[in-house]
Amino acid sequence: MNKDSHALELEAELASAQRQSSVYVYEAPVRIWHWVNAAAILVLCVTGYFIGSPPPSVGQHEAYDQFLFGYIRFAHFAAGMILTVGFLGRIYWAIFGNHHARQLFYLPVLNGHWWREIWFEIRWYLFLESEPKKYVGHNPLAQLAMFFFITIGVSFMIVTGMALYAEGAGQGSLYDDLFGWVIGLVGNTQRLHTLHHLGMWWIVIFMIVHIYVAIREDIMSRQSIVSTMISGHRTFKDDRMD
């Protein structure tokens, strides 16, 4: 009896595996960007925090014998450049990649269905829906968050960061020509530093929520999440519609 049920279960599993298929969602450039971007953000947050609040002094040697703060700043600038180039590449791919690659850069605000789906997702996160919906790309709430935290947030950090970099590069430099207007806009760059700091925490908050939700949905939703950003394939756990 017990054996029979086990055999039945196996059979059902096999049948379901045969029926279930995966969809190729995130193409290689998007996946590579995601992980490069994540690494750059991690480096930027850690070094950026230290630039605002330096580690304890290393005062044993002559100044020319060490370059600790210089290296921290170098890591920050290097990661910032990688983030910027990556973001530009991501914009390029949004134009030439598949339609999922475009999701980060627009919000279908005129689409009533999209707003209803956001409401549904909010209800799901408030434990008011017993079963989530299936999405091939980002769910609408995720799209909204990505747009404000990553597309707007990273753009803001690139622009303010480049303006701060232009201060060091000096007037007349390429950075100053491109981003010096930001310095003129805020007047005192002390304000720009403060805004850049707040921007970092904006992205840190996103990181916390993003990682939590990705793992939670990987377990509780009806589709793959974490592995999708590794393989690019979205797999589904059942064959029911929606």
198 lines the binding site for another protein (CB under 8 A): yes
Listed ranges 83-91, 101-109, 141-149, 164-172: which one lies at the site for another protein (CB under 8 A): 164-172
> Is residue 70 close enough to count as binding another protein by CB under 8 A?
yes
Taking the least distance from each CB to another protein, the nearer of 174 and 219 is 219
> Shortest CA distance to 225 belongs to which of 135, 141, 140, 151?
135
Which residues lie below 8 Å from residue 234, measured CB to CB, with a gap of 6+?
22, 23, 24, 25, 136, 223, 224, 228
Report the residue from 52, 88, 116, 123 that binds another protein according to the rule CB under 8 A. Answer: 52
Smallest separation, CB 148 to another protein (Å): 14
Q: Give the range of 46-54, 79-87, 108-116, 231-239 binding another protein by CB under 8 A.
A: 46-54
Cβ(223)–Cβ(237) under 8 Å?
Answer: yes
Angstrom distances, CA of residue 203 to CA of 39, 47, 58, 105, 145: 13, 14, 30, 17, 11
Q: Is 218 in the site for another protein (CB under 8 A)?
A: no
CB-based contact 137:117 (threshold 8 Å): no
The distance of closest approach from Cβ of residue 43 to another protein in the complex, given in angstroms and rounded to an integer, is 18
* Element at 24 (helix H, strand E): strand 22-24
Classified as helix, coil or strand, 236 is: strand
The whole-angstrom separation of Cα 146 and Cα 134 is 18
- How far apart CA 52 and CA 80 sit, in angstroms, is 16
> Using the 8-state DSSP alphabet, how is residue 55 labeled?
P
DSSP 56: P
Q: Which is nearer to another protein, 15 or 204 (CB)?
A: 204
Nearest distance from C-beta of residue 191 to another protein, angstroms: 7
Q: Indicate the residue type of 121.
A: E
Q: Which of 54, 148, 226, 237 binds another protein (CB under 8 A)?
A: 54
Check binding of 1 to another protein (CB under 8 A).
Answer: no
Smallest distance from another protein to CB 8, Å: 13
If one asks whether residue 2 binds another protein (CB under 8 A), the answer comes out as no
Residues engaged in binding another protein (CB under 8 A): 49, 52-59, 61, 63-70, 72-73, 125, 127, 130, 167-168, 170-171, 180-181, 183-184, 187-195, 197-198, 200-202, 204-205, 208-209, 212, 216, 219-220
